[in-house]
Structure 1
Amino acid sequence: MPPEESAVVNDYDLLAESYTAMSDTEIQNAYYERPAVLALAGDVAGRRILDAGCGAGPLTVALRERGAEVSGFDLSSGMLEIARQRLGPDVDLRVADVAEPLPYADNAFDDVVASLVLHYLEDWGPTLGEFHRILKPGGRLIVVVDHPYAIHLLQRQAGQKTDYSATYEWTEDWEVDGRTTPMSFWNRPLHAMTDAFTAGGFRISVLSEPKPVPEAEALFPEDYRMLCVSPSFLFFVLQAE
């Protein structure tokens, strides 16, 4: 018999509906990541914004409701189909790979939001270069990444002999709808992140470790308490120089 075909790593087409339902309602995305991004973005009315790795578009929707002109892209056509259903046909949504040259003109955007995107990449250099290219001079790049020390502790607790100062790939299996989907990410120390931002032509204007919004406490009391003392994400606002 032929060997069983291995599962595709990071298969968001397979996960599209289940992942969307989860991220729309659970604490990490709905009550922690997205509210913090929107708070950092501030008044976006009239601003041209790119939602990089937009997935099913919840952040795209929120930015648009606040008066921004939003475009988005994602590698998963399944996730983008859900985004199109939410946003309608008049929103610029494209299939594109964040690791490749992006299909946008120079100086096209006031802001780029890359929330929980960069951790899929070993090398941030080319992607940050593309973000810098498509931003207007002085434009903002808002980035959310896994907190590097949280991932380091998670790996140590799992028995992995990881080195916080190293950049390394880590994997885990997600159990969704009775299926196991392997997911792969890259962890890097804080200094490697800031070095990459500087090399990419950005100045760090904000580094934030926010708490979930207060209404999450009644809905997810245990998770809320944990995130208040052990942040799982880091948030940056970067200025294109």
Structure 2
Amino acid sequence: MPENDYDAFAAAYDADNENNAWNAYYERPAALDLVGDVAGLRVLDAGCGGGAHAAALLERGATLTGIDRSAGLLEIASRRLEGRARLLVADLNDPLPFEDGAFDVVLASLVMHYLHDWSPALLEFRRVLSPSGRLVLSTHHPFMDHQLSGHDNYFETYSFDDTWERGGRTIEMRFWHRPLHAMVEALTTAGFRIETIGEPQPDPRARALFPEAYESLTTRPRFLFFSAVKA
């Protein structure tokens, strides 16, 4: 099976994300909080997966477009969103199929760590954003990546592999670690001005529901969040 082949386990991945500590009680609420008020705004959910973020954004009044490389996850998103959003297969390594200034907000949730080079995607995000548009992204925290990978040099950008268990299957995943300064440089070089770099805490409800995960999320870095506008 190819690495990061979400089509091969789309249903199991989406079901796990729906209610687990890391996504439902940590990343998703933190990302949505950073996005803020989207009523009447055109939002691109870049790497929308099964549509959990998209559903919340639609409830808040956004006009939503979702893209993902996985057709299997987009099928799940289509069923969830019931025609309320435009959904397209697209790869963030390629030019995006949208006009300049087509969106007011771009959300890239837990997708950038799959990319060797952030520059093409960030330049495209900037292009499709309106002059006052904003980018919100979440990604693997580089300290977590470096500890997980066992790599010698934190300051290098390097790939590493991890093994996931989803739906009774073992899935081989590949990610890209980059140090914090490289993330900041990629954003600023692409023409963004960073407003926020966040390391949020999980939803307090996770403490009773997932005590071990809660202890981990409140004491060790997991994801990193950025909000940025056009410079």
For the superposition of Structure 1 and Structure 2, which TM-score range results when normalised by the shorter chain?
Answer: over 0.9
Specify which of 213, 220, 223 is matched with residue 203 of structure 2: 213
**Given residue 199 of structure 1, which amino acid in structure 2 is its aligned partner?**
T
Displacement of 1:91:
1.6
Instruction: Give the conservation status (yes or no) of the 8 Å contact 2:144–2:221.
Output: yes
Instruction: Give the conservation status (yes or no) of the 8 Å contact 1:148–1:189.
Output: yes
Query: Which structure has the larger Rg?
Result: 1
- What stretches of structure 1 of length at least 5 have no aligned partner? 1-6
Instruction: Give the conservation status (yes or no) of the 8 Å contact 1:211–1:231.
Output: no
| Bigger mean CA deviation after superposition, 59-68 or 82-91 | 82-91
CA distance in 2, matches of 1:180, 1:215: 29
Displacement of 1:90:
4.0
Specify which of 209, 218, 227 is matched with residue 217 of structure 2: 227
CA distance in 1, matches of 2:145, 2:90: 27
Specify which of 13, 21, 27 is matched with residue 33 of structure 1: 27
Q: TM-score, normalised by structure 2?
A: 0.97
Could you say which residue in structure 1 is the equivalent of 2:188?
198
Give the secondary structure class of the aligned counterpart of 1:64: helix
CA distance in 2, matches of 1:145, 1:151: 10
Backbone CA RMSD of aligned residues: 1.0
Specify which of 177, 181, 191 is matched with residue 187 of structure 1: 177
**Given residue 26 of structure 1, which amino acid in structure 2 is its aligned partner?**
N
Aligned residues: 231
Displacement of 1:155:
2.2
Matches within 5 A, 1:130-145: 130-145=124-139
CA distance in 1, matches of 2:203, 2:209: 11
**Given residue 111 of structure 1, which amino acid in structure 2 is its aligned partner?**
V
CA distance in 1, matches of 2:9, 2:21: 19
Could you say which residue in structure 2 is the equivalent of 1:239?
229
Displacement of 1:184:
0.6
- What stretches of structure 2 of length at least 5 have no aligned partner? none
What whole-Å deviation, never above 9, does each CA across 1:130-151 have from its counterpart, x for those lacking one? 0000000121100101000111
CA distance in 2, matches of 1:23, 1:177: 12
Instruction: Give the conservation status (yes or no) of the 8 Å contact 1:54–1:73.
Output: yes
Is 2:163 aligned against 1:169?
no
CA distance in 1, matches of 2:152, 2:16: 29
| Bigger mean CA deviation after superposition, 144-153 or 169-178 | 169-178
CA distance in 2, matches of 1:106, 1:210: 32
Instruction: Give the conservation status (yes or no) of the 8 Å contact 1:70–1:92.
Output: yes
Matches within 5 A, 1:25-174: 25-156=19-150, 161-174=151-164
Moved segments of 4+, more than 6 Å: none
CA distance in 1, matches of 2:163, 2:93: 23
CA distance in 1, matches of 2:43, 2:130: 11
CA distance in 1, matches of 2:152, 2:5: 26
CA distance in 2, matches of 1:153, 1:181: 20
**Given residue 153 of structure 1, which amino acid in structure 2 is its aligned partner?**
Q
CA distance in 1, matches of 2:139, 2:4: 17
Q: TM-score, normalised by structure 1?
A: 0.93
What whole-Å deviation, never above 9, does each CA across 1:83-125 have from its counterpart, x for those lacking one? 0001112420000101100011100000000011111111111
